[in-house]
Amino acid sequence: MTARLNVNIDHVATVREARKTIEPSVVEAANLCEKAGADGITIHLRQDRRHIQDRDLEQLRSVVSTYLNLEHAVTDEMLLIAERVRPDAVSLVPESPNEITTEGGLDVAGNVPAIADAVRRLKAVGIHVSIFIDPSIGQIDAAAEAGADQIEICTAEYAEMTLDREDQSSDPEKVAAEIARIAAAAKYAKEKGIVVAAGHGLTTKNVGALASMPEISEFNIGHHIISRSIFIGLENAVTEMIEAINVR
Ligand code: PXP
33-50, pLDDT tens digit by residue? 999 999 999 999 999 999
d(CA 133, CA 5): 19
Q: Just list the catalytic residues.
A: 44, 71, 200
Atom of ligand 1 nearest to the CA of 225: 16
Identity (one letter) of the amino acid at 184? A
Q: What is the pLDDT of residues 135-147, one digit of tens each?
A: 999 999 999 999 9
Q: Given a cut of 80, is residue 165 above it in pLDDT?
A: no
Q: Looking at ligand 1, which residue's alpha carbon is closest to its atom 12?
A: 200
Determine the distance separating the centroid of ligand 1 and the alpha carbon of 198, expressed in angstroms: 9
Three-state DSSP at 22 gives coil
**Which DSSP symbol is given to 201?**
S
Ligand 1, residues at Cβ distance < 6 Å: 8, 10, 44, 71, 91, 93, 101-102, 132, 152, 199-202, 220-224
| Four-CA torsion 138, 39, 162, 184, nearest 10 degrees | 30
Taking the CA of residue 201 as reference, the ligand 1 atom at the shortest distance is 15
Residues listed for the chain: 248
What is the per-residue pLDDT for 248? 59
Given the CA of residue 8, which atom of ligand 1 is nearest to it? 11
pLDDT in tens, 53-81: 999 999 999 999 999 999 999 999 999 99
Looking at ligand 1, which residue's alpha carbon is closest to its atom 7? 200
DSSP output for 103-135? -S----TT-HHHHHHHHHHHHHTT-EEEEEE-S
Q: Give how far Cα 47 sits from Cα of 35, 94, 219, Å.
A: 30, 11, 24
**What sign results for the dihedral spanned by CA atoms 14, 19, 22, 25?**
negative
Tell me the per-residue pLDDT of 100-121, one tens digit each, with 9 for 90 and over: 877 899 999 999 999 999 999 9
